[in-house]
Amino acid sequence: MSQQIRQRHSARGSSADQADSLTMKASGGGLSAKSLIESSPAQHGPALKLHVPAIYKISPTCLQRILSSGWFPESMSPHWIERHLVQAGSFLYRFETDQSSEPKGTPVQLAAVEARVVGEDDYLEGLELMFRQLPPGSDAVFSVSTFGKTQYFAVSSKEECSTWVNS
């Protein structure tokens, strides 16, 4: 199966190949983290994804500060969630762990992505506190933006961050 996945991701020609690949992804067929890792992906590794609840996004800034103060449940304020990222072929897959049987969410097509290193001076719409207090073991953050949605990932080093952005 891993040979089939590698061939589907390396073929970049006809729209029929791309449609077959998308159908396979949508059905979750053979897309376990383990099978993708065994297929020699371009890159894979653990990262922390910033989860921002909907209530936080629609709240005014003064309420966001109160929600982030620690007095409310974690489910109401932004928090970091462990994920395992796999870049295979022209897609970025997010898994809960490196042993997960299916991707978490829709795989992101790399051709439609803008990835960049998030610096300390970047304005992040009320999320500044989350980047000043990175989780233990994380030293850098990068963003992946596609179709108006931006996801933030914290990794252990600035070198690892650069590798994810440049791959």
Looking from the CA of 102 toward its CB, the CA atoms found within 13 Å total 8
Query: Among all chains, which residue has been given the structure tokens 């932004």?
Result: 78
Provide the mean pLDDT of the chain.
Answer: 76
**Cross-strand partners of 153:** 49, 142
> What are the CA-CA distances from residue 27 to residues 20, 63, 103, 152, 166 (Å)?
11, 40, 11, 26, 29
Asked if the model's pLDDT at residue 11 lies above 60, the reply is no
pTM comes to: 0.73
Element (H, E) at 55: helix 54-58
Per-residue model confidence as pLDDT tens digits over 24-83? 444 445 689 999 999 888 899 999 998 888 887 777 878 877 777 777 777 777 888 999
Q: Using the predicted structure, report yes or no on whether residue 119 has a pLDDT greater than 90.
A: no
Predicted confidence at residue 8, as pLDDT, reads 34
Given a cut of 80, whether residue 138 has pLDDT beyond it is yes
Longest dimension (CA), the chain: 54
pLDDT at 103: 93
Could you report the per-residue pLDDT of 87-106, keeping only the tens digit for each? 998 999 999 999 999 999 88
Per-residue pLDDT, 59: 78
**5 in helix, strand or coil?**
helix
CB 48 within 8 A of CB 82: yes
Beta bridge partners of 50: 80
As a whole number, mean pLDDT of residues 9-30 equals 42
Asked whether the predicted pLDDT for residue 128 surpasses 80, the reply is no
Q: Which of 7-21, 80-94, 113-127 has the lowest mean pLDDT?
A: 7-21
Note the pLDDT of residue 14. Answer: 40
pLDDT higher than threshold 70 for residue 165: yes
